[in-house]
Chains A and B, each alone.
Chain A
C-alpha cells in the first residue's frame, strides 16, 4: 500500500533521513524503531507532505505522492497521529473528532465510525464536551487516535503514541491499538520508543539510526538483537 524508495529529506541543507526505503503492505502492521534524532518523525512528516523530500519516491496505492499536496493526502486515506498528540486545545473532544472526519471518506462514514470509536475508547464519550486542552496526556492520546480513526483511513500512522505517558497508560493505549487492529484489519505504521512492544505485534520491523535503515526483519530476528540496543546506545 505504501512504498517509500530511497527517500532523503530534512530541513535546510542537512538531510535528516537518507536513502530510506520501507514498504507497508495492505493490512500489515509495520513498526519503525530507533533512537531520538534518527529521523522517525521526519519520515512521517515527509510522507504527510509537511516536508518536501530532497530525493526519492513515495507511492501510496500506486499514486505518486509528490504530485499530491499535503492537505490532500489525508483524503487519499493516510491518517497521521502526530508525535506529542497535538490535539486542538481550544476545541472540545467531539469537535476534535469532527475535525478528524474532515476527509471525504470520514464524512461519508461518520455515523458508523463515531459509534465504533466511542466503543473502543469510552472515555471519549464521557468527556465529549470537554476542551481537549484540559485533558490528561493519556486522554489526549486517545483523542488523537480517535481523530485519526475518524478520517476513515486506509493507513494509520502513529508517531510515538507512548511518549510522555506513564507506563500503565502507555500499555493501555497499546492494547487498544491492538484491539482496533483485530476488529478492523487496518493497515498500521507505528513508530515507537518501546522497542519490544512495537516489534511484538508487528508483521515487520525497521530499525532507523542516524537517518538510515540499519536493520529490518520480523519480530524473531530483531528481538533481543544486540544491534538494536547498539543503535540506541551507541555501543
Chain B
C-alpha cells in the first residue's frame, strides 16, 4: 500500500471518528427512547433540526456569540440546545405521545402502528413549521475553528500527515464527554436506574413505586435533548435547513440497530461505525453514493444481524 493510500485511509479514519462520535451521541438519544419506551420516534431527526436552530439562535441572536466569542460560543450554544429540547420533548410526550404508548396503551403488535403514524405526523408538522419559522436558506454556526486543523504527524518518517479539523475534533470530544456524562447518569443515578427498571419490566417497576409513565416522559425528553446537542454540534460543522432531519433519520436508525435495539449506550458504537463507514466509503465511492452505502449497511444489518452489537431481546420479561 502506498503512503498516499495509507494517508488517505488514516485521514478518513480520523474524520470518521470525529463525525462518528457526534453520530453516536445522536443515536444514543434515539436509543434512549426506543430502549425505555419501545417507541419508534420518527420525528427524532426533526427534533434534532430544532436543536440545530436552537443552537444557531442562541449563538447569533441571544448573545452567546457576543458574550463568549466565536471560538467557545458555538459549543456552548450546542450544549444549551439540550435543555431547551428536553422541555420541548417533555411537553410533546405529555400531550401526544403518552396517549399512544406507555402503560395505558398496548405497545406491542398493532399498537406500534399508532406510534409510528403519530410520530410521522409530528415530524411533518415540525418540518413544515420549521420552514415557516426559519425559512429555507441554509444557515450554519460559524466558527473560525472549522477552517483550521491540527496536524498529527509527520508520521512514518515524514511520509504521512493526518489533519484533524479542529472544529470537528472538538465537537467529537464534546460528544464523547456528553456520552460519558449520560452513561453515568443512566448507570449511577437513581433516576437513571429507575428508567432502566421501567424499561426492563414496567409492571415490576410499578410494584417498586416507580411511576412508569413519568419515567417514559423523562426518557423521551432526555432522548430528544441528547440528540439536540448532537445536532447543535453538527450545526457548527455543516450548514442545515429545516428538512435536514430526513437525511439523518436513516443514519440514526442504522446506528441504533447496529448498536443493538434495547441497549442504550451500544448505539454510540453503532453511530461511530456508521460515521466510519461514511468517511471510509468516500475512498471508494463517489460522494453522492455515500448515503446509499449507509443504507446498504443498514439493510445488511437488519437482515443478517438484527440484534446488533449489544442488543438484547427486544421482548420484555
Contact = CB atoms under 8 A, between A and B. Distances in A.
Q: Do chains A and B touch in the complex (CB under 8 A)?
A: yes
Interface of A: 48-50, 69-75, 79-80, 82, 86-91, 95, 98-100, 102-103, 106, 147, 151
A145 B169 CA distance: 50
Contact of B204 (A88, A90, A103, A151): A88
Contact of A88 (B197, B211, B212, B312): B197
B193 A86 contact: no
A9 B194 CA distance: 29
A148 to B, nearest CB: 8
Nearest to B35: A90
Contacts of B205: 88, 99
A108 B203 CA distance: 24
Nearest to A150: B208
A74 B208 contact: yes
Given A71-B211, A90-B312, A95 B193 contact: yes
A95 B199 CA distance: 14
Interface string B269-281: 0000000000000
A234 B211 CA distance: 41
B206 A86 contact: no
Contacts of B196: 88, 90-91
Contacts of B211: 69, 71
B210 A102 contact: yes
A86 B202 CA distance: 10
20 contacts: A50-B203, A71-B210, A71-B212, A72-B209, A74-B207, A82-B207, A86-B201, A87-B204, A88-B204, A89-B200, A89-B317, A90-B196, A90-B199, A90-B200, A91-B196, A98-B193, A99-B194, A99-B197, A102-B194, A106-B209
A48 B190 contact: no
B146 to A, nearest CB: 40
A70 B206 contact: yes
A40 to B, nearest CB: 16
A103 B203 contact: no
Size bracket of the B interface: 20 to 34
Interface string B180-206: 000000000010011011011101111
B200 A98 contact: no
B304 to A, nearest CB: 25
A90 to B, nearest CB: 6
A91 to B, nearest CB: 6
Nearest to B198: A88
A49 B193 contact: no
Where chain B touches its partner, the secondary structure class is: helix
A151 B206 contact: no
Contacts of A147: 208
Given A88-B196, A89-B200, A99 B210 contact: yes
Given A71-B212, A74-B208, A88 B201 contact: yes
Given A99-B193, A99-B197, A71 B206 contact: yes
Contact of A86 (B204, B210, B212): B204
B204 A82 contact: yes
A82 B190 CA distance: 22
Contact of A91 (B190, B197, B210, B312): B197
A99 B209 CA distance: 9
Nearest to B263: A90
A99 B196 CA distance: 10
Q: Which 8 residue pairs spanning A and B have beta carbons closest together?
A: A74-B209, A71-B211, A86-B204, A88-B200, A80-B207, A103-B209, A102-B208, A88-B197
Contact of A82 (B203, B210, B312): B203
A80 B201 CA distance: 14
Contacts of B194: 99, 102
A133 to B, nearest CB: 8
Contacts of B208: 74, 99-100, 102-103, 147, 151
Contacts of B197: 88, 91, 99
B264 to A, nearest CB: 10
B208 to A, nearest CB: 5
B204 A48 contact: no
Contact of A49 (B201, B206, B312): B206
B135 to A, nearest CB: 45
B310 to A, nearest CB: 11
A174 B317 CA distance: 24
Contacts of A50: 203, 206
Contacts of B207: 48, 74, 79-80, 82, 86
A152 to B, nearest CB: 11
Given A91-B196, A99-B197, A86 B203 contact: yes
Contacts of B312: 90
Contacts of B209: 71-75, 102-103, 106, 151
A7 B205 CA distance: 25
A69 B203 CA distance: 13
B212 A91 contact: no
B88 to A, nearest CB: 25
A144 to B, nearest CB: 8
